[in-house]
Amino acid sequence: MGIAQTESQYRPNDPVIILGTLAGNKAEELQKEMFHSCNRVEKYAAEFFYKPPTKVLELGSGIGANSRLMARNGAHVTAIDNSRELLQEYSNLSQKEGCPAKNIRLRRGDITTVASYGADFELVIAVDILPYIAPKDLQSTMQKIYACLFDKGTLVGTIFTTKTEPMARLLMGQLGAHFYEGGSDFARDLLENSGFSVEKLEETESGYRFKAVKK
């Protein structure tokens, strides 16, 4: 499957300017603020909060909005993020919430360069992370997700498309997001060509959320 080579607008040291207004002095700093404050719960992940599978992986976990409650309710969660600060906040919040330490493994790393995410996960969460990796790394990332899942394991996540509202796209593009042509067809093709059956696919304000099962 061919992936459109959308050019990133992300320049870490450049200011972020929206319609002539300065939104941040440095894109890198604003990106960190966005990820640090991101506590949005993805509804397909929330379906697993109170009866989670035994073994869960969250990619680009940030502070763990989509996995901490699973860990508190018995899942063994591996969380991968390239930010030490965000993983520390994940740890702090999980302790405050009474999550057993044995249920969480925090792993610092770049999901595009690590050789493997592990094995036999029953659920992989990839919410608002696939759009922030380079298009050239998207297929290899999907291959690693497929490889780490148990048979019939579930993948929930999001992908951004060019149907995103223009102002949001302008901002998120300067913070490193990539937007793909093709809408739902692109999202479905990406999943099916990566070895998944699409169970749910729903349009959002920035693209599509999905729930898919490993074939």
Q: Are 212 and 191 in contact (CB under 8 A)?
A: yes
Q: Are 57 and 148 in contact (CB under 8 A)?
A: yes
The pLDDT of residue 164: 75
The pLDDT of residue 36: 56
Could you state, in chain order, the average pLDDT of each consecutive group of 10 residues for the chain (215 residues)?
Answer: 53 69 69 66 96 97 95 97 93 95 96 96 96 93 98 96 79 82 93 98 93 97
Q: What is the pTM of this model?
A: 0.88
The pLDDT of residue 21: 73
The pLDDT of residue 5: 46
The pLDDT of residue 161: 87
Residues 6+ apart with CB under 8 A from 39: 63, 65
Reported as a single tens digit per residue, the pLDDT across 27-38 is 666 566 666 556
The pLDDT of residue 30: 57
The pLDDT of residue 4: 47
The pLDDT of residue 24: 67
Residues 6+ apart with CB under 8 A from 126: 59, 60, 145, 155, 156, 157, 158
Superfamily of domain 16-214: Vaccinia Virus protein VP39 (3.40.50.150)
Q: Choose among 170, 163, 160, 159: nearest CA to 212.
A: 159
